[in-house]
Amino acid sequence: MKKTKTNPEIIPAIAVIVLMLTATSVFAGDIVDVTMDVSSGTVDITAQGFDHTTWHPNQVGEINTFTGMGGWSGNYRVNEGSYGILNSFVNVNSYEYGADFVMTDTQYFNVMSGNHINNVVGGFYAESAGDNDQVTMNLKSIGSMYVWSEATNPYSLAPLRGNYIEKNVWTTVNGVPNTNLDLWVSTSGVATMSNSNIWGWTNGETGTSNTNYGVGTRSVSATGSGNFNQYGFGDSSLTFNGFTFGAGTVSMGGSFTGGMSGTYSMSAS
Could you read off the pLDDT of 121-133 as tens digits, one per residue? Answer: 999 999 999 999 9
pLDDT at 30: 57
Could you read off the pLDDT of 68-111 as tens digits, one per residue? Answer: 999 999 999 999 889 999 999 999 999 999 999 999 999 999 99
Over range 217-229, report the average pLDDT.
97
Q: Is pLDDT at 215 greater than 90 in this prediction?
A: no
pTM: 0.90
- Res. 26 pLDDT band, cuts 50 70 90: very low
- Res. 9 pLDDT band, cuts 50 70 90: very low
pLDDT at 248: 93
CA angle 123, 121, 68 (to 5 degrees): 25
Q: Is pLDDT at 24 greater than 80 in this prediction?
A: no
pLDDT at 155: 87
Could you read off the pLDDT of 171-197 as tens digits, one per residue? Answer: 999 999 999 999 999 999 999 999 888
pLDDT at 186: 98
User: What percent of the chain has a predicted confidence (pLDDT) above 90?
Assistant: 83
Q: Is pLDDT at 17 greater than 80 in this prediction?
A: no
Q: Is pLDDT at 12 greater than 70 in this prediction?
A: no
Could you read off the pLDDT of 237-252 as tens digits, one per residue? Answer: 999 999 999 999 999 9
Q: How far is the C-alpha of 80 from the C-alpha of 87, rounded, in Å? A: 6
Query: DSSP assignment of 41-72, as one string?
Result: EEEEEEEEEE--SSSSTT-EEEEEEEEEEEEE
Mean of per-residue pLDDT scores for the chain: 89
Q: Is pLDDT at 18 greater than 90 in this prediction?
A: no
Contacts for 34 with CB less than 8 Å, ≥ 6 apart: 21, 45, 75, 76, 77
pLDDT at 265: 96
